[in-house]
Structure 1
Amino acid sequence: MALESSERPSQPIAKFESMLKTDDVYFFDAEDFEDIIHHYLNHGKIALAKKAIKIGLQQHPVSIELKLLNVEVLVFENNLDVAELMLDELQLLDGSNEEIYIQRANILSKKDNHEAAVNLLQKALDLAEDSFDIYSLLGMEYLFMDDFKKAKENFMRCVSHDQHDYSSLYNVIYCFEFLEDHEGAIQYLNDYLDGNPYCEVAWHQLGKQYFSKKMFSEALTAYDFAIISDDSFIGAYFEKGKVLEKMGRYEEAIENYETTIKIEDPTSHAYLRIGKCYEKLGNDDMAKYYYYQTVHEDPLLDKGWLAITNFYIQKKNYKKALYYINKALNIDGENSDYWKRCAHINSCLKCFDQADYAYGQAIELGDNELDTWLKWAEAAESNNDLEDAIAILGRGTEFHPESAELLYLRAGYHLLNHDRVNARLVLTQALKKDSDKFYLFQEKFEQFSQSEWALDIIASAKKASR
């Protein structure tokens, strides 16, 4: 049955869904269809939104607003060519509709033409009565263009219009942070809080800004106010715990982390922080318990496995440390941090062939830190493979051409390998690069200070480097 317009359902969404389940046909005003479609789009129910658009256009075939919502869905689904053709038709009908420019801007944005998108959004601003949604879109376009100053200005306009627009508030602070203007962020948040003293989101963000400036007392106060504003705000308890850790107040930090667990389901991050606090307090049993809880809760959290491994390394219980790092590698063999830690443990156990292999794996997985190259070469040398150690240092120099340390170590290995020619050449390079670090060579290869032929090479290298 069809309802007359005077019999509009009081709950359009419920009536619409009821209609989909039956053979009944209800009549809706175009505005009702707009509300229904917006509801489904806001909840990510694209299929239902498309059904509503189809039925809506059947009942209101000349509705420009419904056609524009159809364009919005087409753009979302990357049917850009079809969307542009529809916009061309709509612009002939209503060239002063700002939504046409907004959708054209969305299409250009998807094509990475952000400057052109900004120009169209500026035109939409000239036509719009309510412009703050457009300011939000402009802010996003400027973010894509890495123009954080203009992005910040546009998001600020959104917040000034709607002080509960927390998405824009977060974006404002993100821009301040990217510009490394923590003082500006603090001033902005304090001004915002003058008019919104019970906004837990703003207090939380203010605490993070103070924390980044190591103003721990101020950060603690901000988090306390966030909790006063909303005593179930998990993020504030967690961040407060981090501040208390930095202040050495580990027992209080534990209390705050435990509060997050009481409010909501436990998280691996909370367990990890509690474990670290107990370790700082010297309570090894509780530290181990919470580290085990961490990896049980989230076996993919690398910080959990590394925390257990480091715990046993500090206790010099290398066999236990190796057991846990191997468990971690069985779960994620592509983690370079795991391989590097595995290499260190094997070096401590004097299993240099295993250490050599593990350092190689870490490098292959993208760990190109100077320290890794140096330790890999030392592991190869300890494994009585000087040629390999020299080759490793040569590869490391490609990634760290500024490092004299790699050259001094390589020169020493050439000497150990009785390659006097290359030893002289590499040592000369090292001295030219940084003669002040010659002590590294002297400390590592003290045996050559007594060798006449080695002293001759060193003297000639020093002369050549001048």
Structure 2
Amino acid sequence: MNENFEDQNEVMDIVRRFERMLANNEPVFFDLADFENIIDHYTTNTQYEQALRACEAAIAQYPFSTELLIDRSQVLAMKGEYSAAAQQIEDVAQLDPDNPDVAVTRGIIATQKGEFSEAVAYFQQAAERAPDRDDIYFNLGLAYQSWQKFKSAAKFYKQSLRLNPDNEVAVQELLYCLEVSERLEKNLEFFRRFTDEDPYSVIAWYNLGQAYFRTGKYAEAEAAFEYAILIDAEFYEAHSFLASTYVSQEKYREAILEFHLSYEPGTPTSEALCNIGECYEKLAEWDQARKNYQKAIDLDQTMDEAWFGIGVVLNAQERWFEAIHFFRKATELYDESPEYWLALAAAEYQLGNVISAIEAYDKATQVAPDNKDAWLNWSIILYEQGNFDGAIDLMTNAMEIQPGEAELHYRLCAYLLAAGRYREAYQNLENALVLDFDKHRLLFEYFPELESQRALARLIDQYRK
């Protein structure tokens, strides 16, 4: 079910027609290839409930199609209905025991259940029966990736791409596996080879651009995306990636132009508008930034990044009261972002809403316990309130989570000194100096009054290289 369809628009038309017929309770008639396209569309977008409905409609029309029965089994597996999936594929195996898709489907069920060695064995069996099928190697890659064996996963994704260089999902998974195993730099040649073999392949240049982009080779990425666009000016994803490449190099004006080319004329996407808003924000052109963020929200009310963006713009203009509304909305839409909670906490504190600020910092540390800024900023509030013991407890908690973070040790030292707990303070200072001597300057940046403490200066001198 991992076919690549040349014309996405054609597939979308078929999907829309299918959905209209279902909605109007009309009889549903499509040829077998159309049903395959519909099912594939839904599974690619992880819409398994709809995929199953499409399977049922298709099987009602073509009850003897083993392909559809296999599709149904795979969809059931993806939905987590393993016993129904296994039952379905065993029925197919009775009818057609040598069909490689029987082994593929058993492999998919095993992968979904986390039985990775069994999955690999099934896929290998399928590959022996059908050595030229890219989807089998792709599934092998997925099984190894789920098993956290990224080197093996990369090997099979490559095999899949040699057979079908246009499988965009395989490219993304391969890039991910190479990145995680820190081997992307060494594998750039693999992506370059496709452009050498077919210099007019838009996909080959696009994939090469992504590989360069991920390794931080922005000039090379830029050139690759430009080649892709030269071959096909309406390759919108290439425009989008070229824009992101400009953003990474802080070329915001160029990025804005490219983001405007990253969608069909007259049909901007919320994502593109949000990105344009962010570029204007980086250029400190607040009105344009806010305008584009607002347009993104008008298209998609659930776009948390755009709500957050407007908050950032208002915050930069010191309009904290208004900013809070937008930061809150961003956290409601996506409460797993420490950045959103930190921004909300800082804006609340600017308005003197100490309790709300503390609540937001608390939430930030729950979402991202290893975000040191959340702990440091929260502790400053307690310190400024004269609650030295509270600030000390907070830093002690943070250090348990991140014992190697020197800044936390220095800050704890300052709070202990403020509380008059000198012996503990000097102990923590020693730890901090051993971890990162140069960061001792932070101590005096935050607390200039400490510069006059002779005992402190003497201790620091002892650790000076």
TM-score range, shorter chain: 0.7 to 0.9
Which consecutive residues of structure 2, in runs of 5 or more, have no partner in the other structure?
1-16, 43-50
Q: Quick check: 1:426 aligned with 2:425?
A: yes
2:414 counterpart (412, 415, 439): 412
Q: Quick check: 1:49 aligned with 2:55?
A: yes
In structure 2, what is the equivalent of residue 10 of structure 1? none
State the shift of 1:141 in Å: 1.6
8 Å CA contact retained: 1:240, 1:256? yes
Q: Find the aligned partners of 1:144 and 1:72 in 2 and give their Cα distance.
A: 17
Letter in 1 for 2:277: G
Q: RMSD between aligned alpha carbons?
A: 4.1
Deviates more, 1:189-198 or 1:291-300: 291-300
8 Å CA contact retained: 1:148, 1:175? yes
Letter in 1 for 2:379: A
In structure 1, what is the equivalent of residue 323 of structure 2? 324
In structure 2, what is the equivalent of residue 366 of structure 1? 368
2:188 counterpart (180, 186, 189): 186
In structure 2, what is the equivalent of residue 29 of structure 1? none
Q: Find the aligned partners of 1:312 and 1:65 in 2 and give their Cα distance.
A: 56
In structure 1, what is the equivalent of residue 129 of structure 2? 127
Residues 1:450 and 1:297: Cα distance change in structure 2 (over 3 Å) = same
8 Å CA contact retained: 1:33, 1:53? no
Q: Quick check: 1:344 aligned with 2:350?
A: no
Pairwise mapping of residues 372-451 of structure 1 onto structure 2 (< 5 A)?
A: 372-417=374-419, 419=420, 422-434=421-433, 436=437, 437-442=439-444, 444-447=446-449
Deviates more, 1:117-126 or 1:80-89: 80-89
Percent identical pairs in the alignment equals 24
Deviates more, 1:69-78 or 1:114-123: 69-78
Residues 1:143 and 1:328: Cα distance change in structure 2 (over 3 Å) = same
8 Å CA contact retained: 2:138, 2:160? yes
Residues 1:113 and 1:383: Cα distance change in structure 2 (over 3 Å) = same
- Residues paired across the two proteins, number: 425
8 Å CA contact retained: 1:428, 1:462? no
Q: Find the aligned partners of 1:293 and 1:185 in 2 and give their Cα distance.
A: 40
TM-score of the two chains, using structure 2 as the length reference: 0.74
TM-score of the two chains, using structure 1 as the length reference: 0.74
8 Å CA contact retained: 1:237, 1:259? yes
Q: Find the aligned partners of 2:108 and 2:69 in 1 and give their Cα distance.
A: 16
Q: Find the aligned partners of 2:303 and 2:59 in 1 and give their Cα distance.
A: 44
8 Å CA contact retained: 1:412, 1:423? no
Deviates more, 1:423-432 or 1:273-282: 273-282
8 Å CA contact retained: 1:71, 1:103? yes
Residues 1:364 and 1:280: Cα distance change in structure 2 (over 3 Å) = closer
SS at match of 1:263: coil
Letter in 2 for 1:321: W
Pairwise mapping of residues 2-21 of structure 1 onto structure 2 (< 5 A)?
A: none
Pairwise mapping of residues 47-446 of structure 1 onto structure 2 (< 5 A)?
A: 47=53, 49-50=55-56, 52-53=58-59, 75=77, 80-81=82-83, 84=86, 96-128=98-130, 131-247=133-249, 249-260=251-262, 263=265, 265-279=267-281, 281=283, 283-314=285-316, 317-318=317-318, 320-330=319-329, 332-333=331-332, 334=335, 335-348=337-350, 352=354, 355-366=357-368, 368-417=370-419, 419=420, 422-434=421-433, 436=437, 437-442=439-444, 444-446=446-448
Q: Find the aligned partners of 2:295 and 2:212 in 1 and give their Cα distance.
A: 31
Deviates more, 1:220-229 or 1:343-352: 343-352
